[in-house]
Chain A
Amino acid sequence: MRLFCASSISGMEGSVKRFLVCFLVLLALFIALAFTSSRFLNKRDFTQGFPIPDRHSADAISKINAEFAEHWKSKGIKPLPPASAETLVRRLSLSLTGAVPSLSELKRLNNTDCEPSGKVSVWLNQLTGDERYANYMAERLARVYVGVETGPFLVYRRRRMVNWLSEQLLINRPYDEMVRDMISAEGIWTSQPEANFITVSIDQNNNKNGPDEVKLAARTSRAFLGVSLDCMQCHDDMFGDHWKQTHFHGLAAFYSQSEMSLTGVRENEKINYETRFVRDKEASPVQPAAPFQEELLPEDGNLRERLAVWVTHSENKAFARAMVNRAWALLLGKPLIDPVNDIPLEGPYPPGMEILTDEFIASGFDLHHLYYLIANSAPFLRSSKSEESISEDQEENWAAFPVTPLRPEQVIGSVIQTSSLAALDEESHIINKLRRSAEVRNFVKQFGDQGEEELQLSPGTIPQRLLLMNSKMIEERIKPNPFQNSSTRIAMHAPDAVTAISNAFLTVLTRQPSEEEKNHFVELYENAGKEQRQQVLSDLYWALINSTEFSWNR
């Protein structure tokens, strides 16, 4: 023990002293760095770049809303009143960034002088320029384009693909251009990350030196056309008479000339595609053919270039419709047409669908514009709760905002965000980002991930409840800790009980407490001694995080 007394330190060798001084300086620097980011967070002005809706957008929104109004009238359904601004902001943050908004963002948004629907526009504008949006949405799209598998060894890099998608989303690249790049990609999958769309299909146990045209055809029809042609790989459509096996293999043939070379993915015109159709005894050659609207297929270019142009053609409405349906599902929790990949080629379509599709095409496949229209449509703005109870009919017909489960990333993303008062965004410290990334990975694995099928609704499970109630990870984020956890900081700095409880509700559930809730928790808070208040808030956080409301979009 004598080693640590003052006389021992003063008697230390010079080199040890220098080491100690260096160590202390480094430690101070590290601590300073760790806290810098949170101090300078959220300095941006929300009203910067405030989108003034042009008359054209306003017209489109009116037309969409008129279709819904007509639909509700014809069915005798009463639409619910509009949701509060906080609710709308929560919906947008969850669907576009995978986490609830931070308290500081909410407070500054609250000071923005405009109507609730105006706040939607401000918030949408803010989020779509944020790295959080690009990363979260890139993962959603990657699941559709390449799935969640680790994929073939060496020739596939999923991370690169996701990063590429994220970069495209951040600059709001026109959606049709992104898709054309993926379908016609050539080169090495590391320097041309979009080529991973092709290489993920490679079957390394197959004798074929190249991508699998059958997997790519299935992926193309689902992801880009919103049509499930997979069953037609082996037989004609058994449930309708539209789709034939020839449609599927005609589409597959576009991918048949792709092969792997030293320079990565390339086209080889010498390769011919053959398959054995269900009624034949032997395989026969298959010519590439568009499964519908053949007239849009260009003459020029290699097979994949021609397919890319056909798929993304502005007159091929199936392409735009597929993205409209998916964007709707991401923002409202379920698609306009369910399942998301099974959209009929011909109408009648549900209200809103065709106007949104035409608008998306006319905007040059501008995803921000699409989100803007959906987020300002009457269904998105509806409340999910009424003074009286709600009928399933109201929800099914979009007269009430649907209550849908959050996906695992949204749950853990929100838990992590609620532990901080400021937004955990691109300006967060690297240490926080690394911690977040590790926690998300670990949590999602334990929570259970639906992978590509994440838009299929599913109830919660017992292990999920155990994880949220009892895991160390959650407890670390809510327990009294003045340096890291928002529950403690609220207890330390709130001027009174009402403010403390209100801030806790806003941070975790993005809403104010009801009268009953306020009375209950204010009493608990006030009855506790000053030292116990941090614990009371920690327990309140636990209850809020474990409520149905936290794990479900509403």
Chain B
Amino acid sequence: MNFDFNRRQVLQTGIFTGLPWLTPLGNALAAQADKQKNLTTRIPKSLIVVWLKGGASQLETFDPHPGKEISYGGAAIETAIKGAQFGTGLEQTAAAAENFSVIRSMVSKEGDHSRATYNMNSGYRPVPGLFHPSIGSVLCHERPLSGIDIPAHISIMPGSFPTRGGYLGANFDPFQMGDPLQPVPGISSKVGEKRQKDRLASLKLLEKGFAAGRIPDLDQKRTLHQINTQKALQMMSSEQLQAFDIKNESSSTVKSFGDTRFGRGCLAAIRLVESGVRCVEVSLGGWDTHANNAENQQKRIKELDPALANLFHELKKRDLYDSTIVLCATEFGRTPKLNPANGRDHWPHGFSVLIGGGGLRSGQVIGETDPEGKSKKPGKPVTVADLHSTIYTAFDIDTEHEFVTPTNRPIKISDGYPVEALL
């Protein structure tokens, strides 16, 4: 059992433990503790993860080394962060760089797509017999939402390895959807109103028969089947579904994001966050450039740049920037040396992520990689667990808190250390 309460938790516990004499004092002290940490104004509400699936090349994106051998002639542009350069094609993002920080020294021990994706999603390396929940699932578990009909965790165009609720349960899996231009999957009945009514009446009769003669409250205690049917029906008729519909956005706004599947995904993410959704993931695939690296990375960058830059602009415009953390991440970087097919292979020894919003410090570069591409040890390395720990800390979630898995194994929310420069 974990007795590692923080001060605020201990003080507030008094309210629930039959110690009424402590309550006023407890509240006063707790409020003071909040003030000290400036929590009331700074705790973010939502997380948007922009996922570059396949392994974006740090050298063509956020960590170019122009003029060095490992750039292979690749050029770079100046950014709004003094002295920091990005690869060409990222002009809009470079201009918006005051809104985020760049970590150039991400390190991990996973070089396989599925394992590295798992690692970045959950903050833990895969091990047999345990399925760690993704960061979005943990946020939804620790910061439950009430009063919204749509899911709290949404994944737009997930790739082959969608994020999962892991040992927290399938109810923390994200709701998966495709291009926001298409109707939200599974949200409308395939038959007219009259037939749907008949179908539901028949279903009710079958459910009554199934429940009879079984464990009392089987649905509430175990299956959640009928409860979830009701919630699904509620979602199907909810006005909040409009959050998914980017047709409500002006054509100039849609255009500014690039009017691609990915751009529309980013815009939908903003609308969903605006409606109170806790975590949205948007994926952009095609970064696994084992051949013709420069050319193929450039194609993806062209899609990424307007969407990523305007994600920050639009969040600011809607007054959501301070309450939303945006993380742009990938499973690993790519090798400094080109392979014979002019491609770059997998490189988890110093790759880049962007992070900003939600009260985090922005406009800075953290860490550095070897300009010659020889060292596997970047300066000021940040582990995947450290990145997770930073985000949890920003959300005021105690990373030392231990979940107990279904096999009774105690697992900390994160075993990393927050990156102080960001907090």
Q: Taking beta carbons and an 8 Å cutoff, which residues of A are in contact with B?
A: 147, 149-153, 203-205, 215, 218-219, 222, 228, 230-231, 339, 341-342, 384-392, 395, 403, 405, 445-446, 448, 450-453, 456-467, 469-472, 475, 514, 516-517, 520-521, 524, 535, 539-540, 542-544, 546-549, 551-552, 554
Contacts and interface: CB of A to CB of B under 8 A. Distances in A.
Given A230-B127, A458-B170, A469 B213 contact: no
Nearest to B226: A548
A205 B162 CA distance: 23
A242 B188 CA distance: 56
A459 B235 contact: no
15 contacts: A149-B114, A151-B114, A204-B112, A339-B407, A388-B213, A403-B218, A403-B223, A446-B176, A460-B170, A464-B170, A465-B228, A469-B186, A469-B189, A470-B189, A548-B211
B209 A516 contact: yes
A151 B185 CA distance: 30
Across the A-B interface, the 10 shortest Cβ-Cβ residue pairs: A205-B111, A466-B186, A543-B202, A459-B224, A548-B225, A465-B232, A547-B206, A149-B114, A475-B190, A470-B186
A388 B215 CA distance: 10
B114 A395 contact: no
Given A149-B112, A149-B114, A462-B232, 13 more contacts: A147-B128, A205-B348, A218-B129, A385-B214, A389-B214, A445-B162, A452-B131, A459-B169, A466-B232, A466-B235, A466-B236, A467-B186, A543-B199
A456 B169 CA distance: 10
Interface string B212-243: 11111011001111101101100110000000
Choose among B190, B218, B349 the residue with the greatest number of A CB atoms under 10 Å from its CB.
B190
Contacts of B407: 228, 339, 341-342, 456
Contacts of A458: 169-170
Contact of A552 (B128, B195, B223, B349): B223
A113 B161 CA distance: 49
A149 B126 CA distance: 10
B203 A546 contact: yes
B292 interface: no
Nearest to B111: A205
Interface in B159-175: 160, 162, 164, 167, 169-171, 173, 175
A469 B232 contact: yes
Nearest to A456: B406
Nearest to A458: B170
Contact of B187 (A466, A475, A520): A466
B198 interface: yes
B346 interface: yes
Contacts of B231: 462, 465
Given A460-B228, A475-B190, A517-B209, A204 B111 contact: yes
A459 B172 CA distance: 11
B202 A471 contact: no
Contacts, number: 198
Interface in B83-128: 109-115, 118, 126-128
Contacts of B3: none
Given A151-B112, A204-B112, A539-B202, A461 B128 contact: no
Contact of A543 (B173, B188, B203, B226): B203
A405 B228 CA distance: 14
A203 B111 contact: yes
A356 to B, nearest CB: 23
B4 interface: no
Contacts of A463: 151, 173, 175-176, 186
A539 B224 contact: no
Contacts of B214: 384-385, 389-390, 403
Contacts of B114: 149-151
A387 B213 CA distance: 6
B164 to A, nearest CB: 7
Contact of A453 (B131, B173, B176): B131
B21 interface: no
Interface core residue of B173, B175, B225, B232 (most chain A CB under 10 Å): B225
A314 to B, nearest CB: 26
A463 B109 CA distance: 33
A450 B164 CA distance: 9
A153 B207 CA distance: 48
Contact of B129 (A341, A460, A543, A551): A341
Interface string B122-157: 000011111100000000000000000001000000
B354 to A, nearest CB: 23
Of the listed residues B113, B206, B211, the one surrounded by the most CB atoms of chain A closer than 10 A to its CB is: B206
Given A230-B129, A514-B209, A546-B229, A540 B202 contact: yes
Interface string B272-300: 00000000000000000000000000000
Contacts of B186: 463, 466-467, 469-471
B16 interface: no
A550 to B, nearest CB: 9
Contacts of A457: 222
| Max chain B Cβ within 10 angstroms of own Cβ: one of A342, A390, A548 | A548
B129 A539 contact: no
A24 B157 CA distance: 42
Contacts of B109: 203, 205
A460 B224 contact: yes
A119 B235 CA distance: 45
A230 B126 CA distance: 12
Contacts of A544: 206
A519 to B, nearest CB: 10
Contacts of B218: 403, 548
Nearest to A219: B128
B223 A459 contact: yes
B129 A228 contact: yes
B205 interface: yes
A542 B199 contact: yes
Nearest to B162: A445
A94 to B, nearest CB: 16
B225 A465 contact: yes
A218 B129 CA distance: 9
Contact of B171 (A392, A450, A459): A459
Contacts of B191: 539
B113 A150 contact: yes
Contacts of A516: 205, 209
A215 B112 CA distance: 15
Interface centre among A230, A339, A469, A520 (most CB of B within 10 A): A469
A285 B130 CA distance: 29
A517 B224 contact: no
Contacts of B210: 547-549, 554
Contacts of A546: 199, 203, 229
Contact of A448 (B167, B170, B215, B235): B170
Contacts of A466: 185-187, 232, 235-236
A524 B198 CA distance: 10
Interface string B9-22: 00000000000000
B127 A218 contact: yes
A445 B161 CA distance: 9
B175 A389 contact: no
Residue from A467, A516, A546 with most neighbouring chain B CB atoms (10 Å): A546
Contacts of B346: 204-205
B73 to A, nearest CB: 27
B108 to A, nearest CB: 9
B171 A470 contact: no
A205 B119 CA distance: 15
B198 A539 contact: yes
Nearest to B235: A462
Nearest to B168: A458
Contacts of B118: 149
A464 B228 CA distance: 9
A458 B173 CA distance: 12
Contact of A470 (B167, B169, B190, B224): B190
B223 A460 contact: yes
Interface string B230-266: 0110011000000000000000000000000000000
